[in-house]
Chain A
């Protein structure tokens, strides 16, 4: 794509672009300290001057100039707002230093066709900014929860101490709460007791059925598939209501077994979908070859088929696990106090007695989901690699 050669632009242009951003951020600094208009003008003028000076005199010395800008910003931030100012200075200094030289060197055009009009260039970057903001929207809630969980106070917001990076503003007390409260520990233990068993059930039955479903001739395939997928389609509240009614009829409501069965049923569609997807790329001549060489069906399954579809099975199992581990609606109805799981305890915590321990739990759960996400991604890659090996 490197069709476009970066052509240096004028210092006025680079400084002007930076000044627009300067004006934008200036508004916030301005409103925070009294006058929005003053902030806007101040930001624009300051950044323009800085940018123009940098490009006009130090165009070739990009690296030291950017360091200089960074140091200026950090120093300014410290004088203006103390320790938190340093952080803001770091962020903005890096940003403006990069921006000025990105524009001045003309690098910004390299990713685009040489014939792009200025409006197209503007739209290209405006679009990326919008998409970037949406991605920030996606990730912010998770990023906000993590630092808040180290709050030394029982607040759900950043205290002044936290913002000034005072160590006294941070503590592990919510984590200690989590590990020392019997309610939370009981809930954790219940989750650990329920999810793996439900996963095992779902994976065991699900893998067998997925293999059956991928055979070439299956009568009523669509109807069977619809039934097996239905726990994923039916809204959880309806599943929960139905299970509550039915399980209390047959005496399973409020029992460990009832919750495990319910969660296994909810996890099955995920196993079916991932394993059948893996089996689509499975080369059936491999099993025939194995049979040809004298392996019985069980050996063929465990020695030939299973190793090849294992990534799919494991990632299906992880989906089933996370379904059970995160599930709260069904366990709320099917379980009783003895089966109170972690999400249930969080739900109570959010609805009744709001305690920041929830944030500590949330952070731990995010860490777990990152681990799971990584595992699934690695498995997916491995599966693709394996599939590439066998002709399909």
Chain B
């Protein structure tokens, strides 16, 4: 201690703390320790909220642009299709159809093609059934080829023979099987660990590329998804199609590996197979729609891994091959729904101000014993379950409900034309105004309590009329309360789901009901996520405004 005083007294060098370190550093260290302790206390909760809440929101935002399903399910098709020019109005080349056949075959085996169909159906109706039915007819061609091949050599129908042929001799092309495994894993979303127990020989892979691809798909699927032994299973029909395509081009005369003779015999007798180009097969045997350039244009437009398509759909636009276009009139509902949500939230906010202001005034100007008693009438609904209040309104507003009964009994309404007050906008507005009214009254009340009544009396004693005194003196002071209450009510109203769902019918529903519909009924999660993202943006904007006006720290409860 004396050391510190000495140096300080001498005026030379930095001030030192008791332990001899410079005071500044010591203080800094103490401050750092304090900060660290605060953060340590906050960290568990922060982590918890990040994991259970922020991550889901981030996931939702990610889903609103994510579009990996097309390129995951039809990887090669998407790749070969990228060169195609949709403006020619001609279907793509044979290469694309070949890629489609093999991609689709795996997808159909993995039952992933229905998901793809569902995805593409959002963009062009009819694609779901096209893809689903196509998945069923892919086997036919391979079956025909197999029959012809078995006539040449019965060995073609045996799994063991195929395994031997494809495994070949010499160096194995491991990279082929790894690539196929990755492709299948990406499509199914499974990890697909373990050993396939198969790798094509490099020679075969070079000689019969399509067969190798199809057989590798088959091997990966058989070994890793079904858990069977590859050599014991008969290969997929796509393998025969691949073989027929390869034999039309490859020169197998010099191949000395196992099965070489069978290959040569098959190639010599290739004409006995009912050969047809895959484009013709898709057009004639599967579905003529595959010849439609528009189908291909949709696939091409939605092949990137990320798309703005969902967001465009959410504002009644559409991503077409030629750029952004408006949706047909009968399909555009979202702009209307957003407008309705905003309009109804505004109406509800306004009615809350109109109803809440007098009550808050009364509560703030009564002696506190009476005010506390009346406060119970405000707090009881606030604390009552939302479902209870919604069901109460359903009970009251129905055509056979309490309000109509009273009106009929009083003779104000004839029994045979009772008022329709539910399942429309009126019902939603009344019920939600009631439900959100406490959120308006409470902030208004706390602001009004802080306005000294003497101001009003001073204004009146200076000659102001009642109205002038209120409008020029009292009201401006209560505006912060109106602002806080309005934003609170508006934020809450804009995202409401339960009440509009129960009392809103078809004309009184909000955008949130549409989001729920897309999640649970139409399963268009991307669109639901995009709608949610837009709604979230609006709410965050309002929240930011609320923070500027009121401050988050000033939120009070009860």
Contact = CB atoms under 8 A, between A and B. Distances in A.
Contacts of A142: 380-381, 384, 388-389, 392
Given A237-B497, A347-B502, A373-B379, A265 B52 contact: yes
Contact of A131 (B31, B38, B50, B359): B359
A307 to B, nearest CB: 19
A319 interface: yes
A169 B250 CA distance: 91
Contacts of B502: 347, 350-351
A233 B543 contact: yes
A169 B555 CA distance: 47
21 contacts: A131-B361, A138-B359, A138-B438, A139-B380, A142-B380, A157-B395, A209-B41, A209-B45, A215-B38, A227-B49, A230-B49, A233-B491, A238-B539, A243-B53, A245-B56, A346-B387, A365-B385, A369-B384, A370-B383, A373-B383, A377-B558
A206 B466 contact: no
B60 A217 contact: no
A253 to B, nearest CB: 11
Contact of A329 (B37, B374, B497, B532): B497
Interface stretch (A11-19, A100-108, A266-274, A285-293): A266-274
B387 A127 contact: no
A31 B525 CA distance: 55
Contact of A205 (B48, B54, B394, B401): B48
Given A212-B40, A213-B38, A231-B49, 9 more contacts: A141-B434, A142-B388, A219-B35, A225-B552, A233-B540, A241-B60, A243-B52, A245-B56, A328-B387
Interface string A288-322: 00000000000000000000000000010001001
Contacts of A28: 410
A96 interface: no
Contacts of A53: none
B110 interface: no
Interface of B: 31, 34-35, 37-42, 44-46, 48-50, 52-60, 63, 355-356, 358-359, 361-362, 374, 376-381, 383-396, 398, 400-402, 405, 409-412, 434, 437-438, 466, 491-492, 494-498, 501-502, 512, 515-516, 519-520, 525, 528-529, 532, 535-536, 539-540, 543, 547, 552-553, 555-558
B46 A238 contact: no
A127 B359 CA distance: 10
Interface centre among B41, B58, B389, B492 (most CB of A within 10 A): B41
Nearest to A1: B367
A372 interface: yes
B60 A242 contact: yes
A239 interface: yes
Contacts, number: 288
A16 B59 CA distance: 69
Interface size bracket, A side = 35 or more
A128 interface: yes
Interface in A13-39: 28, 31-32, 34, 36
Contacts of B384: 142, 365-366, 369
Given A141-B434, A242-B60, A244-B519, A135 B378 contact: yes
Interface centre among A148, A268, A333, A346 (most CB of B within 10 A): A346
**4 closest Cβ contacts across the A-B interface?**
A235-B495, A212-B41, A141-B392, A242-B56
A265 B55 CA distance: 12
Contacts of A211: 41
B45 A206 contact: yes
Nearest to A132: B362
A350 B390 contact: yes
Contacts of B63: 245
Nearest to A349: B391
A241 B396 CA distance: 31
A170 B380 CA distance: 25
A217 B56 CA distance: 30
A208 B41 contact: yes
Nearest to A201: B48
Contact of B396 (A127, A144, A262): A144
A68 to B, nearest CB: 29
Contacts of B491: 233, 235
